[in-house]
Structure 1
């Protein structure tokens, strides 16, 4: 077994591991969003990033609630995927001088973050249901719905404002 799967033998183990992965991801996103807010110039985009930061704090609390429901310690496992997505977002926003183009790049970067979160939450919900943990699935569904709504709003901001200004 590989480095990340040495302690994973059951679907329960995989569920907890992936929960810790997304817990790590949410905590890293919480750290990265203030810089994205500072780099955004479009008022609607800044407001969306600020709202996502508030939601991220709530997502972390909900994840801690799921850990509690499971009776396991709330801890993280390193997630190279989110590290790469956030590193790329930081590099892109640092490399672009044109503020309208930078805003378009920030939306693309944030949507990469959202899509990662959406896939993780969707998987966790499916596994929770399979494991008979509808209590956990219900809590995680709230996070998923907020991530999906954020993704839709970012698309709307991009298509109706930011991309037009960048072009």
Structure 2
């Protein structure tokens, strides 16, 4: 592993090297967030009443495992160990999701809509996070990192769109 002065020298040769520490910090945050999300998705899936919504949460669980693998690849390509840190934002979003489950578990006509609200808040956080690191990677000339993280960003956007579709077709419609 390179020492600090070697790392600084290598950074000095890349465009926008001043963003390196921020990129790495954000990657650690996202890795921590994705790991935390795995537990949250299990709870969301278990609580969901709609089979489509359960399937969406289960699919996103599998995608999230892939996101973690991609992040490990990104860390490796940057010459770093894949170490996450506790993501306080994800912790708060998942705590809110648990509150929603408790609050609406006896109201099945509302529960799925509430779960979608919680899940979309998570997706929007992830979209913002991945959008930033993709931009940093592009500015720094890390084309492979940009491409790998861009795949994840696209999947996060697709999940958000799927949740909206489920909300409009099932969860946010008048009860019969």
TM-score of the superposed pair, with normalisation by structure 2: 0.87
* Coordinate RMSD, CA, aligned: 1.4
- 1:80 offset after TM fit, Å? 1.1
* Equivalent position to 1:147, from 134, 139, 156: 156
In structure 2, distance between residues paired with 1:100 and 1:148: 26
* Equivalent position to 1:110, from 99, 103, 119: 119
- 1:10 offset after TM fit, Å? 3.2
What is the count of residue pairs matched by the alignment?
159
Structure 2 runs not aligned, ≥5 long: 1-16
Specify the alignment match of 1:163 in structure 2: 172
Is 1:21 the counterpart of 2:41? The answer is: no
- 1:134 offset after TM fit, Å? 0.8
In structure 2, distance between residues paired with 1:100 and 1:52: 23
Larger Rg: 2
TM-score of the superposed pair, with normalisation by structure 1: 0.92
8 Å Cα contact 1:26/1:60 also seen in 2: yes
Structure 1 runs not aligned, ≥5 long: 1-8
8 Å Cα contact 1:104/1:166 also seen in 2: no
Deviations along 1:77-135, whole A, 9 cap, x unmatched? 22111110110001111111111211100001000000000000000000001111011
Deviations along 1:13-71, whole A, 9 cap, x unmatched? 00000000000000000111111111001010001001000000000000000000001
